[in-house]
Each structure stands twice: as structure tokens, then as C-alpha cells.
Structure 1
Amino acid sequence: MSDMNEFHLSAEAIRGTIKVPAHPVKPDITAEEKKALKERIKKLMREQDATLVAHYYTDGDIQELAEEMGGCVADSLEMARFGTTAKEQTLVVSGVRFMGETAKILNPEKRVLMPDLGATCSLDEGCPADAFTAFCDAHPDHTVVVYANTSAAVKARADWMVTSGIALPIVKHLKEQGEKVLWAPDQHLGRYIEKVTGVDMLLWQGSCVVHEEFKSVALERIRRLHPDAAVLAHPESPEHILDQADVVGSTTKLIEAVATRKEEKFIIATDDGIFWKMHQVAPGKELISAPTAGEGATCESCAHCPWMAMNSLQNLEEMLLNPGPQHEINIDESIRERAMLPIRRMLDFADSHGISGKYQGNA
């Protein structure tokens, strides 16, 4: 089921080498200074025929700017789709590197920039292409399904790419076709999908440093303090967190739950960058971060991805003032062509089944 044999120790060793960056200190600026900064960025974006594509986990100031400019604020499914329809010739991706790579894979003719190319992801870092290829080669009878949080080279080895918002229907479809699935890299999301679908699945042993931090006993305590609150959890969280959740789902599904459920209070087990959009769609509701403190806590993330935190209005302006190769995503063409196939397969499936990665309610 999830036994990787000789690859298990290899993956464990690789994950142990991941260097989690310290959270950058957010500059303290006045409201007037922020307004002026945003106006300068908008001017630079217009001059460079650029649009801003931001993930729900980025800083609220960036999400607000993207919406003000007619860009995109969404999960990685909709971020991937948006770039293919945007009229602008430059895509500025505010998120982590695999999101920029996905944009470039689908839009090779466009310039794709990121404020900091060092903004990576523990799931991506913990699934190197050479080790993953060896794992796939050892199991040739399995359909290879990779999560979006992987490098272009890993996607190039896959049959399907999925995001958390579309993983369940795609894996259900594969099970109906009689397929066995090799899944990477997030073991918790993989186990959740395996449990829900009953598919025969091999799991790579990756994990997200944010979702790994949520603590079961501490969550039980905070639930007792707030018995009227619903618990919402992203399926990258460990099973002991998902077992306590009222809703398990993608970022878009969790945002929808806050907007539509009758509860006035929610305990959220995912990156707290999502709170900006949740407050926007449900301004009167109370949001509480699921606890990352407690016995065994290391708080490498404290409910916010340190790589996502590398995106700011300040370095967005700096990038636009000097948009050189240190900010541009480029991918070897042979890898890009192979990686496009599983992504395109996912997008075609989403289109044919009416699946969106963007909250469609009133914002």
C-alpha cells in the first residue's frame, strides 16, 4: 500500500536535508506608503504588459493587488488555467516555484517572472526527479499521478498531474478504469485519497512542513474551548487531524465552507494565508488557526509557509524594476513538452467535468 521498500529510506534521507528558511520580517509601512507602493507596482505592470497570478496562501496585500489589477487569486488548478487565457505576455507568479514552472510549461511563448526563484516547497524538494524516476521504473504497472507541488522534471515522468481540488475525481476515474496508482509526493493527501476511493496506491513519503505542524492533542483542546466551531482541514494534514475535521478539502473547498456553512466560528488547519480570502467572502465570521504548538512541536512553519512568505509587495516592485534572468522561469524544452501532457490531461478533465479551482461565490 504505502511501502516504498528501498526507496523509503532514500526519501526519508532526502526529506531530512530540506532546509526550511526563516520567515522574512515583513516591513512596517504606513497605509499611505503601502498605497503608493501598490500604485508604483501597477504602473510597472502595465508598462511591462504583465498580469499578477497569486495563490491563496500568499500575503493578503498581494492577493488584494492581483484582484485590483484583474489578475488571478486562486489555487494551483486555476492558476495553471488562468495563464493560458490571459491576454498579457508576462505572467508574474506570486507563490512558489512549481507554480511558476507550471505557468511556463503551459505558456512557453510568455515571459514568466517570480519575485524570488528561491521560493520552493518541501514537497517539491523532497521528491527529486532521479529518485522518483527510479521508483516509477520499479513499478511499471502503475499509472503515475503527481501532485502539483513537484518540479517540471517530476511532472515529465507522470501520466497525470493533479491539484488537491481535482485529485479525488481523477483518481476515482482511474480506479473505474482498473488502474493502479503510483502517487507522489504528499503521503497524507495520498492516504486520504486512497481511503476515500479504495484505489490500489503506492505512496511516495513526502510531506508539507506547514501541515505536518498541526498537533492532534492541541486541536482536541481548542475544540473543547470552541465547541461551536467547525474544523476545516486541508488533506495535506496528517490523518489524526483529518479525523477531527468537519470538512476536508482543497483551499477552494475550505473557502466555500466558511462562506456557506451556518457556523460563525471556524478552526482552520491549513496555511493561514487563506484567511484573507476567507475574511473577504465571510467578513463576519471568526477564524482560528489550528494549533501548531504542543508536545513535539518544532514550529518550522507556524501555520504559514516560509517559502510563500518570500513574496512581498517590496520584492515584487524590485523584480519589476530589474526583471532579469534572476527572476525568470525557464525550462528545458524536452522536459517542458513531456511535463505539459499530464497537466493538459488534468485541465481537459477539469473542463469536461466543470471543476474549478477558484471560489465562485460573491467576494
Structure 2
Amino acid sequence: MTTATQEAPIRDRIQVPAHPAWPALNDAAKTELKERIKRLLVEQHAVLVAHYYVDGDLQALAEETGGYVADSLEMARFGAESDAQTLVVCGVRFMGETAKILNPEKRVLMPTLEATCSLDEGCPADAFSAFCDAHPDHSVVVYANTSAEVKARSDWVVTSSIALPIVKHLHERGEKILWAPDKHLGRYVQRQTGAEMLLWDSACVVHEEFKGFALERLRRLHPDAAILVHPESPDEIVDQADVVGSTTQLIKAVCELPNREFIVATDEGIFWKMHQLAPDKRLIAAPTAGEGATCESCAHCPWMAMNALQNLEQVLQRGDQEIQIDEAIRQRAVIPIQRMLEFAREHGIGQTRGIR
């Protein structure tokens, strides 16, 4: 297993925005705003699709209006199956692009097109294409957290919920894997499958911040807590986990495990759905710094935080934050995404519609 470049922290290699400071809304103002958005969704024949990491108000609104809250695999599937002619994607840009790739005839809006992703930013299409050209004997598997251009250069697109079975399948066929962009997820997949993998060097700014020694300290304070870890986390975090999995798999663990406490190493946005489904469980955020070993709200993606009720209303009024993809790129990018969805159907992977 080889990593493509030197492994400097991702925050040193890309520009990470500050968390946006949205004006606080009292209950009455928030209710009025949500009612206006609901009317606009009806008028626009639009459906709201939200990721587990965005603000809880957006997740609640999606469910209240017949939309959907899910991980990136199920967001893609829902968008493809929806009858709505306008999809409003609350998440980060690659999610909106995936919706557009699968639904070229539909209008895809986002509260802001500036909500990108450190994994996407850390894998520019031209450099990645050159890397692929240098290793033509490898099957190219890219994580969903990439641009349409990178997906168009791939053989397979995967999400964290389906990466293991797809790479295992390719390994059993004797294929060598070129993996991008998340090196931590790539290492986890390689360790689990034994596949020969060449890793691109990028990471998630949220998950890379978790600290192993601080998690150990927090575990001593909560010895009966189960440790839930997203596989984008470093090895020192994954090695302490009771459950390693995608957002959906971690939510299921909170619902199904007998533990009363859970230390959760992923974006804090996931707590909204966990609290909704398991209100009697105590959730503790894994620490992102040594002195934060007792913190309860440490990790949140600054790009996910760009989604808010305020700019959701604005985009429905103006329609100016629309995803556009070059058709030639879209036609190439849809092939590996459809390959993933077909694999999921054949192997019964996903289908989280029961998570409510």
C-alpha cells in the first residue's frame, strides 16, 4: 500500500473557511421562515434532500415536507427516484453534482454553491488524471466526495457505506486499486480487504482532527460508552472503535446497541438524527484537541455549516445557486455512479428509507 504524496495535514494544504455566523432566530421567526420555505417548495414543485451533517432545522424541514435525510448514497438514490422536477440539496457541492449527474433533466439547487469539501478540494482533477495515467494497470475507485471531473476519470464511485464490499469484490477478481481521495478511509478499506491499493493523499478536515490520546482519556471517563467512528478518521481513532461505519451505520448502532452512552467520532450534525431515533441515549462528541477531552460539541464541517434556513429561502426565491455540469463530463461520470448503484441493488446494500 502506497500513498501518492507526502502526508501533511489537510488544513495546511487547502483554504478552510470559518464557520458562518448566521443571525439567531427566535422561535416565532424560525416558524415563520419555515412556513415560507414550505410554500416555496410547493410552488417550485421541489423536494428537499438533506445530509445527516447539516443543521437539524434543515433535516427536520426535509422530513416535514416529504423530502429525505440520508447519507450520500441514499441521497443519490432518492434524487434519482423522486418525481420532483427540482431537487434542493442541503449538503456540500459534490452531493448536488451527483444529483445532477443522475438527473440531467431536473433542476438541482443548493443553498450555496460555495459549500465544497476538503476531500474534493484536495483532489484537483488535472493532478488526479495524471496520477491515473501513471498507473494504467489499476482500477480507479473514487470516493463520492469528489468533483464531477474526478468521477468522470474513475471506474467506480463509492460511498463509505459501500466501499468495503466493492473493493472486496474487485480484490477477489485480482484487480489492483487506485484509490482517492481519503487516505484514512483508504487505509481502513485496505486493512479490511487485503487489497493492493495505491492511495491519493487527502483527508477530511473534520475527521483528521480527532486525537487518539484525547479519545483514550474520554473513554476512561465513560468506561461503559460504545465508541462509534467514521472510517474517514485516522488509524489511532479507528483502532479504538467498537463500531466503524458510515453515517447510516453509526445511527443504526445507537438505536440497536444496549449501551446507554456513545462517544461519536464524526460530524456533530449526525446527533440530530441520533437524538430523534434514540432520545434516551447519551451522545458525547469525540474530542478534536488534547485539552478538549470532555468537550461535547467539537467537530462540524464549515462547508456543511454554510447551509441554513436563510439561504435555503433565498435560493428558492431566486433560483441562482443551480448546479451545472458539462454534458460530456456528466456522461462519463454517470457510468461509475450507476455501476455503484447497480452493485448496491444486486447485493442489497443501502435502502435506509426505514430510518426516520
TM class, shorter-length: over 0.9
Write out aligned runs for 1:210-225 (5 A). Answer: 210-225=206-221
Are 1:192 and 2:188 matched, yes or no? Answer: yes
Match for 2:25 among 22, 29, 33? 29
SS at match of 1:273: helix
Counterpart of 1:90 in structure 2 is: 86
Q: CA RMSD, aligned part only?
A: 1.8
Residue 357 to residue 15, structure 1, CA distance change in 2 (3 Å): farther
CA contact (8 A) 2:10 2:118 kept: no
Distance in 2 of aligned mates of 1:18 and 1:293: 20
State the shift of 1:27 in Å.
2.3
CA contact (8 A) 2:229 2:243 kept: yes
Counterpart of 2:345 in structure 1 is: 351
CA contact (8 A) 1:15 1:206 kept: no
Distance in 1 of aligned mates of 2:3 and 2:349: 32
User: Stretches of 4+ moved more than 6 A in 1?
Assistant: none
CA contact (8 A) 1:15 1:125 kept: no
Distance in 1 of aligned mates of 2:326 and 2:8: 28
SS at match of 1:259: helix
SS at match of 2:2: coil
Counterpart of 2:249 in structure 1 is: 253
Residue 335 to residue 39, structure 1, CA distance change in 2 (3 Å): same
State the shift of 1:15 in Å.
6.7
Match for 2:61 among 65, 81, 102? 65
Counterpart of 1:119 in structure 2 is: 115
Match for 1:203 among 199, 204, 210? 199
State the shift of 1:294 in Å.
1.2
Distance in 2 of aligned mates of 1:16 and 1:329: 29
Distance in 2 of aligned mates of 1:202 and 1:170: 16
Residue 296 to residue 232, structure 1, CA distance change in 2 (3 Å): closer
Q: Which amino acid aligns with 2:80?
A: T
Distance in 2 of aligned mates of 1:28 and 1:332: 38
Counterpart of 2:335 in structure 1 is: 341
State the shift of 1:332 in Å.
0.4
Deviates more, 1:26-35 or 1:227-236: 26-35
Write out aligned runs for 1:43-192 (5 A). Answer: 43-192=39-188
CA contact (8 A) 1:160 1:345 kept: yes
Q: Deviations over 1:221-268 (max 9, x none)?
A: 010000010000000000000001100000000000000000000000
Are 1:40 and 2:36 matched, yes or no? Answer: yes
Q: Deviations over 1:71-98 (max 9, x none)?
A: 1100000011111111110000000000
Distance in 2 of aligned mates of 1:140 and 1:82: 34
Write out aligned runs for 1:180-329 (5 A). Answer: 180-294=176-290, 302-324=298-320, 327-329=321-323
CA contact (8 A) 1:75 1:357 kept: no
CA contact (8 A) 1:165 1:357 kept: no
Residue 340 to residue 52, structure 1, CA distance change in 2 (3 Å): same
CA contact (8 A) 2:10 2:203 kept: no
Q: Deviations over 1:105-157 (max 9, x none)?
A: 00000000011100000000000000000110111000000000000000000
Residue 225 to residue 357, structure 1, CA distance change in 2 (3 Å): farther
CA contact (8 A) 2:3 2:183 kept: no
CA contact (8 A) 1:54 1:95 kept: yes
Structure 1: where are the runs of 5+ without partners?
A: none
State the shift of 1:46 in Å.
0.6
Structure 2: where are the runs of 5+ without partners?
A: none
Distance in 1 of aligned mates of 2:309 and 2:55: 9
Distance in 1 of aligned mates of 2:103 and 2:167: 26
TM-score for the superposition, normalised by structure 1: 0.94
